[in-house]
Amino acid sequence: MHSFHTSGDPIADRRFAYAMDYKAQGDLAAAAELVEQTLDCAPRWAAGWYVLGDLREEAGERSKAIEAYRQSLAFDASDVAGAGARLARLGERPADGAMTASHVAALFDEYAPRFEHSLVGDLSYRGPALLKAALSELRQPLAFRRMLDLGCGTGLAGEALQACCAEMIGVDLSQAMLAKAGNKSLYRDLICEDALAFLESQPAASAELVLAADVFVYLGDLQALFNEVARVLEPNGLFAFTAQRHDGPEPFILNHDMRYAHSHAGMETWARTAGLTLLCRNDEWARQDRGIPVPGMVAIFAQ
């Protein structure tokens, strides 16, 4: 049986391991040839096709990369590997919905053990601190009855806001990230679900604060989510989030770093349509990439 990490055929797996050695040495052609041999033995292995696409893309062989990503998708429609997003970035699919829940869950299940060290330590992540500072400017004393943390991850936003939230509920696609959050014993409930599906299950006017810290980088069109946030918020409840910013005319793009970036205008249109009012927005970076701040925004809307 093949999975993300194994083709299910020991000989093919060995060949794949050699391919990765060649890749590590920078010999992309030899690596791609060995992955092709792997796929001769395990032709339905979606992750193998994805890696072949990645090697082809890195070598500048665009059409061969596209072909390999398409094969990956054909053998795994849930797209754990993430071929759809790569196709979208190459302009071969619409950007919206290109990043599947299975892919995001697999990404963060893998990332969870080193997430905090990497994000806070290496990437200077400060999303939760920015959100707390922006909320403090608007509300004094800072106190919320029920807070929903969309894409709570390991619970960094919960840690930042625990003192001012009577009850916190975290939702995330990654079981491994939720396990880390659970170790902190901060949240009343931790739910493994897509953020939009979770909101749809919540009663109207049942939360005083909805947070999304660095989560929209995995979502394109946010209209449905904004609509649900507006429904779930109590009157005068707050919706606070950080997002990666782009300044072009599109409401969102799938960036070269494989993250979605959103525009001010896009956010404001979705909010207006949902009946939310902008209270504050600051152009602040929440994360760095190789030492360079990634353009971002911190925004708070009210019900």
| Candidate segments 39-47, 210-218, 250-258, 288-296, binder of ligand SAM by CB under 6 A | 210-218
Other CB atoms within a 10 A radius of the CB of residue 70 amount to 17
- Per CB under 6 A, 214 contacts ligand SAM: yes
Instruction: Name the residue among 258, 218, 221 with its Cα closest to residue 242.
Output: 218
Instruction: Name the residue among 172, 254, 246 with its Cα closest to residue 221.
Output: 254
- Per CB under 6 A, 299 contacts ligand SAM: no
Q: Nearest approach, Cβ of 132 to ligand SAM (angstroms)?
A: 11
- Per CB under 6 A, 218 contacts ligand SAM: yes
Among 83, 85, 195, 232, binds ligand SAM (CB under 6 A): 195
Residue 216, C-beta contacts closer than 8 angstroms, at least 6 positions apart: 222, 241, 242, 243, 244, 260, 262
Q: Nearest approach, Cβ of 18 to ligand SAM (angstroms)?
A: 32
CB closer to ligand SAM out of 28 and 212: 212
Q: Nearest approach, Cβ of 118 to ligand SAM (angstroms)?
A: 10
- Compose the 158-177 pattern: x for residues touching ligand SAM by CB under 6 A, - for all others: -------------xxxx--x
| Candidate segments 40-48, 60-68, 137-145, 147-155, binder of ligand SAM by CB under 6 A | 147-155
| Candidate segments 8-16, 50-58, 211-219, 288-296, binder of ligand SAM by CB under 6 A | 211-219
- Per CB under 6 A, 227 contacts ligand SAM: no
Among 31, 157, 207, 230, binds ligand SAM (CB under 6 A): 157
Show the CA angle centred on residue 141, arms to residues 136 and 143, nearest 5°.
85
Among 54, 57, 76, 194, binds ligand SAM (CB under 6 A): 194
- Per CB under 6 A, 215 contacts ligand SAM: yes
- Per CB under 6 A, 226 contacts ligand SAM: no
- Of all residues in the shown chain, the one whose CB is closest to ligand SAM is 153
- Per CB under 6 A, 152 contacts ligand SAM: yes
| Candidate segments 58-66, 70-78, 153-161, 249-257, binder of ligand SAM by CB under 6 A | 153-161
| Torsion on CA atoms 185, 191, 194, 198, rounded to nearest 10 | -110
Interface with ligand SAM: number of residues (CB under 6 A): 21
Other CB atoms within a 10 A radius of the CB of residue 224 amount to 14
Q: Which amino acid is at 1?
A: M
CB closer to ligand SAM out of 19 and 130: 130
What part of residues 57-116 is at the interface with ligand SAM (CB under 6 A)? Answer: 104, 108
> Which residues here bind ligand SAM, judged by CB under 6 A?
104, 108, 127-128, 151-153, 156-157, 171-174, 177, 194-195, 213-215, 218-219
